[in-house]
Amino acid sequence: MKEAIRNFGREIGADVVGFAAIEDYHSPRTPEPRTLLPGVRSLVVLGYRELEGGLASENERIRMMSRLAMMSLGTRNNYLLAKFIEDRFRAKAAPIAPSFPLNMAAPVMGVVADLSLRHAAVAAGLGVFGRHNLVIHPRYGTRIIFTACLINLPLESDPPVRDELCNQCNLCVEACPAKALEEEGKTDVMKCLRVSQPNGIGGAIAYAKKFIGAAPETQKEQILNPRFLELYQASFIGFEYHCFQCVTVCPACR
According to DSSP, the residues that pair with 43 across neighbouring strands are 20, 150
For residue 104, what pLDDT band results from cuts at 50, 70 and 90? confident
For residue 101, what pLDDT band results from cuts at 50, 70 and 90? confident
List the single range of 18-27, 121-130, 170-179, 198-207 with lowest mean pLDDT: 198-207
Which residues, other chains included, contact 109 with Cβ-Cβ below 8 Å and sequence gap of 6+? none
Question: What are φ and ψ of residue 15, in 5° steps?
Answer: -85, -35
226/249 Cα distance (integer angstroms) = 30
Q: Three-state DSSP class for 148?
A: strand
According to DSSP, the residues that pair with 16 across neighbouring strands are 47
Q: Are 151 and 41 in contact (CB under 8 A)?
A: yes
Q: Three-state DSSP class for 21?
A: strand
| Per-domain residue ranges of the chain | 2-166, 172-237
Q: Are 73 and 48 in contact (CB under 8 A)?
A: yes
Kindly report, residue by residue over 127-175, the tens digit of the pLDDT. 999 999 999 999 999 999 999 999 999 999 999 999 999 999 999 999 9
In the prediction, which pLDDT does 249 show? 96
Q: Taking all residues of the chain, what is their mean pLDDT, rounded to a whole number?
A: 94
Determine if the peptide bond prior to 38 is cis (ω within 30°): no
Percentage of the chain with pLDDT > 70? 100
Kindly report, residue by residue over 203-231, the tens digit of the pLDDT. 999 999 999 989 999 999 999 999 999 99
84/1 Cα distance (integer angstroms) = 12
254/71 Cα distance (integer angstroms) = 22
pTM of the model: 0.92
Query: Is residue 102's pLDDT more than 80?
Result: yes
Euclidean distance between the first and the last CA atom of the chain, given in angstroms as a whole number: 33
Q: Are 134 and 142 in contact (CB under 8 A)?
A: yes
According to DSSP, the residues that pair with 21 across neighbouring strands are 42
The dihedral sign for the CA sequence 134, 243, 194, 250? positive
Query: Is residue 71's pLDDT more than 80?
Result: yes
168-187: burial string, b at 16+ Cβ within 10 Å, e else: eeebbbebbebebbeeeeeb
Percentage of the chain with pLDDT > 90? 87
